[in-house]
């Protein structure tokens, strides 16, 4: 399966998890550029910088010190909405949390930790279907 992501951001406060996630992502796309942020405040500063381009994909831990994954999304500049897709990582995925994240304008998939190649493939298929659905919706509005 071919995936069209060239730049990825991983946001997680656990170094071992970041190491594992990088390896899994590289199995799908060996040429991908990956930036890792151990603190949510650092990724927020990075994304607020107008000179930085939007990544294609963000792996975002829900529970982090300082700012939660939800706060990261809520404070993200609007300019990232069209390009950025988000994979929410959590030790437990509940319906309430999914509904909260799905209420945003971002294309979002959920993965229960730990990340695996199979879970990542399913998440990317989910995001691709959201992109296709969004594109179809826009085309219908233009008609």
- Domain of 20, CATH number, reads 3.40.50.2300
Is residue 136 domain-resident?
yes
Q: How far is 129 from 116, CA to CA, in rounded Å? A: 20
Is residue 1 domain-resident?
no
pLDDT of residue 91: 86
pLDDT in tens, 77-130: 989 888 899 998 988 876 776 676 666 668 888 899 999 999 999 999 988 888
In angstroms, the Cα distances linking 57 to 139, 142, 143 are 24, 28, 30
Confidence of residue 1 (pLDDT cuts 50, 70, 90): very low
Is residue 121 domain-resident?
yes
pLDDT of residue 98: 63
Confidence of residue 134 (pLDDT cuts 50, 70, 90): low
Q: What is the DSSP string of the chain?
A: ------EEEEE-S-HHHHHHHHHHHHHH-TT-EEEEESSHHHHHHHHH-TTSPPPSEEEEESS-SSS-HHHHHHTS-GGGTTT-EEEEEESS--HHHHHHHHTSSSEEEEEESSP-HHHHHHHHHHHHHHHHHHHHHHHHHH-
* Spatial CB neighbours of 79, under 8 Å, sequence gap ≥ 6: 50, 54
Domain region containing 138: 7-142
Q: Mean pLDDT score of the chain, rounded to an integer?
A: 86
Q: What's the domain count of the chain? A: 1
* Spatial CB neighbours of 134, under 8 Å, sequence gap ≥ 6: 107
pLDDT of residue 4: 72
Is residue 2 domain-resident?
no
Is residue 67 domain-resident?
yes
Is residue 131 domain-resident?
yes
pLDDT of residue 49: 94
Kindly state the average pLDDT of the residues 25-51: 94
Confidence of residue 3 (pLDDT cuts 50, 70, 90): low
């Amino acid at each position: 399966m071919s995936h069209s992501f060239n730049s990825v951001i991983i946001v997680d406060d656990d170094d071992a998890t970041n190491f594992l996630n990088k390896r899994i992502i590289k199995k799908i796309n060996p040429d991908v550029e990956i930036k890792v942020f151990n603190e949510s405040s650092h990724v927020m500063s990075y994304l607020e910088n107008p000179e930085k381009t939007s990544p294609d994909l963000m792996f975002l831990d829900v529970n982090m010190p300082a700012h939660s994954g939800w706060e990261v999304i809520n404070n993200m500049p609007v300019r990232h909405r069209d390009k950025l897709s988000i994979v929410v990582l959590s030790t437990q995925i509940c319906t309430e949390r999914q509904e909260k994240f799905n209420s945003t304008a971002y294309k979002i998939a959920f993965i229960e930790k730990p990340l695996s190649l199979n879970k990542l493939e399913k998440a990317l298929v989910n995001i691709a279907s959201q992109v296709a659905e969004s594109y179809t919706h826009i085309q219908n509005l233009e008609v």
